[in-house]
Amino acid sequence: MIKIKSEEEIRIMRDAGKILATTLRGIEKQVKPGITTLELDRAAEALILSLGAKPGFKGHEGFPYSLCASVNENVVHGYPSNYILKEGDIIGLDLGVIYKGYYSDMAITVPVGKISFEAKRLINVAKKSLRLGIKKVKPGNTIGDIGNTIQRLVESQGFNVVRILCGHGIGKELHEEPKVPNFGKRHAGETLKEGMVICIEPMITAGDYNLKKSADGFGFATKDGSLSAHFEHTIAVTKNGAKILTEL
C-alpha cells in the first residue's frame, strides 16, 4: 500500500533531507587518495548525530555502519572497511538519516583525485539521468515514465541500467511502496499522486548490468567488473511537480 504524506510530514522529511544533504556534502569534501572508507563512515555518523538526526542505515537488516561506500565495480551497499582510496577510484556514497521518526535517503558518486575520461562520463550520465527522471515527477505521470526516461538516456550513451535493484517509496520506513525501477515503459506502473514521497536512484554500469553479491555479503558488484555509478534523491510529489527534499 502506498502511503500518502501530509504537508506536515513532508515538511519534516524536508528538514531530514537538509540534514542529510549537509552531511553528504561534508563527506564528499573528505574524499581523497589515502583515506579509508571506514574513516568516511565514522565522519558521516558523527556529523549526522551533531545535526540532531540518527543514522538511517545502521542496524537496518543487520548492516553495521552508517554509510554505504561502494568503490568502482561495487554498485550499492558497500561495506566500509580499511580499504584505502587511491587516485583514479570512484566511490558511491549512499546515506540515510532518521529525523523525528521519518527517513531520508540520498546518494552521490564522486571521483577520487583525477579519474579517467570514461569514469567521468559515467558519473555525468548517471547524474543527468536522475535529473531527467525527476522532471517526470508530477501527478498523473507514472513510475514507468520515470524509469523509461532514465533508461533511454543511459542506453543512448552506451551504458546500462541495473535491473535487480530499484528506487522506492519512503517515510516512516526506509523502504515503502512503490518500487521505482530505472527502466520500463511509458504510462506503465503506479500513477503518481500528490503526497507520495519516493526515492529515485539510477544505478548504471559501464558494462553489463548483471550483478553479483560482493565479498562482504551486503553489497552488489558488477559481474564483469565494470565501473558503476549511483545517484539518488528523495522526492515529494506536489501539485506543481517534483519537490526535491534532499538538497540544500
**Residue spans of alpha helices (H) in the chain:** 7-28, 37-50, 117-135, 143-156
**Element at 107 (helix H, strand E):** strand 102-111
Q: Is 58 strand, coil or helix? A: coil
Q: Closest Cα partner for 70 from 89, 57, 88? A: 89
What's the grid cell of residue 141?
A: 505521470
Q: Is 175 annotated as contributing to ligand binding? A: yes
Q: Is 94 annotated as contributing to ligand binding? A: yes
Beta bridge partners of 68: 94
Distant-in-sequence, close-in-space partners of 44: CB < 8 Å, separation ≥ 6 = 23, 24, 27, 55, 66, 67, 95
Q: Is 168 annotated as contributing to ligand binding? A: yes
What's the grid cell of residue 188?
A: 506503465
Yes or no: say if 6 and 80 are a contact pair by the CB < 8 Å rule.
no
Q: Is 77 annotated as contributing to ligand binding? A: yes
Q: Is 105 annotated as contributing to ligand binding? A: yes
What's the grid cell of residue 133?
A: 527522471
Yes or no: say if 63 and 54 are a contact pair by the CB < 8 Å rule.
no
Q: What is the rounded distance in angstroms from the CA atom of residue 244 to the CA atom of residue 225?
A: 32
Q: What is the rounded distance in angstroms from the CA atom of residue 189 to the CA atom of residue 180?
A: 9
**Residue spans of alpha helices (H) in 89-207:** 117-135, 143-156
- Residue numbering of the annotated binding site for substrate: 77, 175
Task: List the binding residues for a divalent metal cation.
Answer: 94, 105, 168, 201, 232
Show binding-site residues. Answer: 77, 94, 105, 168, 175, 201, 232
